[in-house]
Amino acid sequence: PYDARFGVDKMEYAYGEKPTEDEVCNYDPDMVGVASKNDPGLVKQALQRKDLIVAADSLFPIEAHWEAKSGSVENILRAWNVGADSVVFIDDSRMELAEVATAFPEIEGLVFPTGDDHALPAFLEKLRDLFGKSSVTEEDRLRVSSLRASQHRAGAAAATTADAFLAQAEAEISIICDKPDQRTFELINKTNQFNLNGRRLDEAAWKARVEDSGQFLISASYTDKFGPLGKIAVVSGRYDSTRPLVDVWVLSCRAFSRRIEHRLLKLLFDRLDAESIWLDFIPTDRNGPLCDFIETIADGKLENPTLVTRKSFLANCPRLSAKVNVE
């Protein structure tokens, strides 16, 4: 297990000392897939490291994107040509485990013991009991080549699957208006993937913004039946009866695939009483998830600023199940 929160170059083993190959156990190499909500480029960099216990070329397929993990699991099962009852899905998030279990009830889900050093040996022993092999044969390796050659991946899980899961997640979004705090400031300056333009605010710019009566500031916290995520989104901009402009919009990657961004945009249209909103959008090398979102709801091509009308948004907005509380 690796901790990559501080970048690929500084990625460390989550449990300090690097485990031995015997501790990890010998896996059948054609049956280890990866479902990661992450930047594909960063995942590729991480897998190029020379100190990985499991060789990168024994991981197949690798599903690295920001979509629901049930879609990744569907693609992996199809690539392996096996049923869900033949595999184990491991994640450190109980919500991700539940989302996959909703789409694949037959699958066995295991919670990875993040932060619990004492639980790790027992966890690895369980995996060894399930999948351990005394040796890996040449025929095993040939199966990897065969699987790669016959790879035919499908798209993400059907929208109805996502609708069904989100409808029973008991999600609640709490909206706080014009009440800045340190967490709001930190989110703006630390978020990369869902960031409208990548700009950072220093203390002076932040102070000027919160003191400007012509600016609005909205932050959002999220919780569901799997537990709270805390404050995960910030939207800010300028009031204008003819051309309201959003120049700050960030969403934590922990909150992806929950349609929170749709809820926030709907709230903006209603709160600003606007038929159109302009987004101060600038593409960066990290904000692909936000680009993908805007492309689904914008009127025309992405540019600076990008226009989104209420009509276009409502025509392309998926079903929204989360309850919204405005404080």
Average pLDDT over residues 117-137: 79
User: Which of 118, 135, 165 represents a domain boundary (last residue)?
Assistant: 165
Residue 199 neighbours by CB distance under 10 Å = 14
CATH number reported for the structural domain that contains residue 318 in this entry: 3.40.630.30
Distance CA(127)–CA(287), nearest Å, equals 36
Q: Among 40, 33, 81, 28, which Cα is nearest to 59's?
A: 33
Same domain, 320 and 250: yes
Residue 156 neighbours by CB distance under 10 Å = 18
Same domain, 102 and 182: no
Q: What is the pTM of this model?
A: 0.72
Task: List the Cα angle 21/22/28 in 5-degree steps.
Answer: 75
User: Which of 165, 180, 213 represents a domain boundary (last residue)?
Assistant: 165
Confidence of residue 153 (pLDDT cuts 50, 70, 90): very low
Residue 94 neighbours by CB distance under 10 Å = 13
Average pLDDT over residues 293-311: 93
Same domain, 153 and 204: no
Same domain, 152 and 204: no
pLDDT computed for residue 151 by the predictor: 54
pLDDT computed for residue 157 by the predictor: 38
Q: Is the pLDDT assigned to residue 134 strictly greater than 70?
A: no
User: Token pair of 321, please?
Assistant: 């199940």
Same domain, 15 and 152: yes
User: In the chain, how many domains are there?
Assistant: 2
Distance CA(210)–CA(285), nearest Å, equals 28
Instruction: Render pLDDT for 168-181 as a digit per residue (tens, 0 to 9).
Output: 889 999 999 999 99
Same domain, 161 and 173: no
b/e burial code for range 115-127 (CB count within 10 A of at least 16 → b): eeeeebeebbeee
Same domain, 22 and 83: yes
Same domain, 157 and 201: no
User: Which of 165, 182, 210 represents a domain boundary (last residue)?
Assistant: 165
CATH number reported for the structural domain that contains residue 96 in this entry: 3.40.50.1000
Same domain, 150 and 27: yes
Instruction: Render pLDDT for 61-91 as a digit per residue (tens, 0 to 9).
Output: 999 999 999 999 999 998 887 788 889 999 9
List, in sequence order, every residue forming a beta bridge with 37; answer none if it has no partner: 65
Residue 198 neighbours by CB distance under 10 Å = 15
List, in sequence order, every residue forming a beta bridge with 63; answer none if it has no partner: 35
CA distances from 118 to 35, 123, 124, 127 (A): 25, 9, 11, 16
Q: Among 193, 190, 212, 211, which Cα is nearest to 201's?
A: 190
Same domain, 174 and 157: no
Question: Which long-range contacts does 89-96 make (Cβ < 8 Å, 24+ apart)?
Answer: 89/35, 91/35, 93/226, 94/226, 94/227, 95/169, 95/224, 95/226, 95/227, 96/37, 96/69
Same domain, 312 and 261: yes
CB distance 263 to 322 below 8 Å: yes
pLDDT computed for residue 200 by the predictor: 95
Distance CA(267)–CA(313), nearest Å, equals 12
pLDDT computed for residue 228 by the predictor: 86
Same domain, 185 and 274: yes
Residue-number span of the structural domain to which 153 is assigned: 2-165
